[in-house]
A and B are shown apart, each in its own frame.
Chain A
């Protein structure tokens, strides 16, 4: 090897191999075998994949997951932009706002799940009590909509600040001259937002959308702690479904579904990235 620079990369590659490459290969290996813990694996080719794709429980979890993640993006991204636009640009208020926005981000997933569980517990929690005032019986253990919406709003509360902070940083980087030019060109507030602010936020929004999509697609701890994926399978998202199969020692099925899961995340992330880097770039309509 002529370039000794490679030597410096070896430790990082080793860590990457142990943490990502080897597990991934193991998963692929599992996915091609009929394998239950304790028994001798038999090679079955793509049978596990066929089984996963025919499994209605998997497909329901996938649809549920997509609805959830798209909903998260549709709510958190616009809301995050709005919050960022409302934040003060300078002065003592800035620090206060940033700290307040930062607090949810500091709370771990499982703690968030437990807080939600306490708040929504029937007969104890504040939320069922609140809904009782309107004669609505709020019960996450029984009503699928209540459970789904609780997880959804929990995620919005937990992660919208991330989008807001990203956008806030993006907004600060837009030179004043753009706004002055828009004023001189007689642009309305909406047009200024549409043609100055939004295009200038493109790069942070790409990061925001990708992060929120990938993270929301991996949601696990909150539904597990709130209702364990129930009632029924109302909050059994994809990761929860896959984990269940692995817990039941059906490693071949779990391997195949994990791999499909990974594939979906990559494909969707790629689509988002391509869309966002290319739309509205001033090309001829």
Chain B
């Protein structure tokens, strides 16, 4: 168990022969710190450099620039086994020719741990992962979820494991077993308090697993925070849209006099809000979560008229797509509000829930 830090990490897959100015960096200038025993997620769209970062941490890849620190010690030049960082891969990696017991024992046997201690440790690990009944089972008989558990088991069985990296561990798991395995991962983290970094492009997985989520886009760190912080205070419109289902509503606007001026409506704002916006008048981006948009079926003061064009049912709530001449808003509303497609509704935006972005950065 340990604190993991990345210091000024940049990596390019271009060979050194490519001149400095023309290199394409998969990740650049990353400074990330994960505290000891924390549950972390690395979230970003496909191809954003997540797996590169993971391989740099585990030591399968040497970063072009920067250092990897484990408990303050520079491990950049060390091989994967010397770093004591374990990894769970996207599809379950198990040793087909061994049974479950031998699979779990494999990392310990490689360390020449006495066979008696191995037996004890394997049973302990199997108990944590609910694999006790399968210890003697043939690997080929197991489903992908159990195989992934074994893969996780191999990574936590060594006492000296500094951190466990999980590379989209649920991607190939049957939906039937996904939920159970996700809870198991979380439970194992809670119980063992090992530093874990969960890499995924699925916000739901990231937000349910981690206490601390790092968002990466195009190889750059965009924001690091708790799931709640990311949801309520996204650092950029991208995060606002990326996190949440459906994503944040984003509209362009400008501040004129005491109102936000949109292409086809305007919204008066308080003096306080005006002060916060300060000099940033033009080129604002207005953001509001679909969950906090207020919907009324008759005209109200300060509300803006929209027409409901699409209603999506998701079970517990409905997502309304509401249009005006050139603006579109999505709203998440409960079943109890009586609307049908084509209805006219009045939408209001609670000021305390507004997000305003300027130059891709959050200012309010």
Which residues of A are at the interface with B, using a C-beta cutoff of 8 A? 175, 177-178, 180-181, 183-188, 191, 195-196, 198-200, 280-284
Contact = CB atoms under 8 A, between A and B. Distances in A.
Contacts of B93: 177-178, 181
Interface in B78-113: 79-81, 85-87, 89-91, 93, 95-99, 102, 106-107, 110-111
B136 A284 contact: yes
Contact of A187 (B58, B89, B110, B139): B110
Q: Which of A184, A198, A199 has the most CB of B within 10 A?
A: A184
B154 interface: yes
B110 A180 contact: no
A37 to B, nearest CB: 55
Q: Is the interface of B mostly helix, strand, loop or mixed?
A: mixed
A282 B81 contact: no
Given A195-B98, A282-B97, A283-B99, A186 B136 contact: no
B214 interface: no
B79 A183 contact: yes
A135 B352 CA distance: 101
A183 to B, nearest CB: 5
B346 to A, nearest CB: 54
Q: Which of B58, B85, B89, B139 has the most CB of A within 10 A?
A: B89
7 contacts: A178-B93, A184-B87, A195-B98, A281-B138, A282-B97, A282-B99, A282-B139
Given A177-B93, A181-B87, A282-B139, A186 B99 contact: no
Contacts of B58: 180, 184
Q: Is the interface of A mostly helix, strand, loop or mixed?
A: helix
B89 A185 contact: no
A65 B212 CA distance: 69
B89 A177 contact: yes
A119 to B, nearest CB: 43
Contacts of A177: 89-91, 93
B88 to A, nearest CB: 9
Contacts of A181: 87, 89, 93, 151, 154
Nearest to B60: A180
Given A186-B107, A199-B96, 10 more contacts: A177-B89, A181-B93, A184-B80, A184-B87, A184-B155, A185-B81, A187-B110, A200-B96, A281-B96, A282-B98
Contacts of A284: 99, 136
B140 interface: yes
Interface of B: 58, 60, 79-81, 85-87, 89-91, 93, 95-99, 102, 106-107, 110-111, 136, 138-140, 151, 154-155
A50 B198 CA distance: 72
Given A183-B60, A183-B80, A282-B139, A195 B110 contact: no
A123 to B, nearest CB: 54
Q: Which of B80, B102, B136, B140 has the most CB of A within 10 A?
A: B80
A199 B94 CA distance: 11
Identify the 5 closest CB pairs spanning chains A and B, nearest first: A186-B110, A186-B81, A199-B97, A181-B93, A177-B89
Contacts of B86: 184
Contacts of A186: 81, 107, 110-111
B97 A185 contact: no
A198 to B, nearest CB: 7
Contacts of A196: 95
A138 B264 CA distance: 100
Contacts of B60: 180, 183-184
Q: Which of A175, A185, A284 has the most CB of B within 10 A?
A: A185
A95 to B, nearest CB: 22
Contact of A184 (B81, B96, B102, B136): B81
Contact of B106 (A183, A187, A200, A280): A187
Contacts of B97: 195, 198-199, 280-282
Given A282-B98, A283-B99, A183 B81 contact: yes
A272 B118 CA distance: 35
B307 to A, nearest CB: 51
A215 B96 CA distance: 30
Q: Which of A175, A188, A196, A283 has the most CB of B within 10 A?
A: A283
Given A185-B106, A195-B97, A281 B87 contact: no
Given A199-B97, A282-B98, A284-B136, A180 B89 contact: yes
B195 to A, nearest CB: 15
B111 A282 contact: no
Nearest to B154: A185
A253 B136 CA distance: 53
Contacts of B155: 184
A282 B87 contact: no
Contact of B138 (A195, A199, A283): A283
A205 to B, nearest CB: 13
A283 B107 CA distance: 19
A184 B87 CA distance: 7
Contacts of B138: 281-283
A99 to B, nearest CB: 28
A17 B243 CA distance: 67
Contacts of A281: 96-97, 138, 140
Contacts of A200: 96
A282 B96 contact: yes
Nearest to B88: A181
A280 to B, nearest CB: 5
Contacts of A183: 60, 79-81
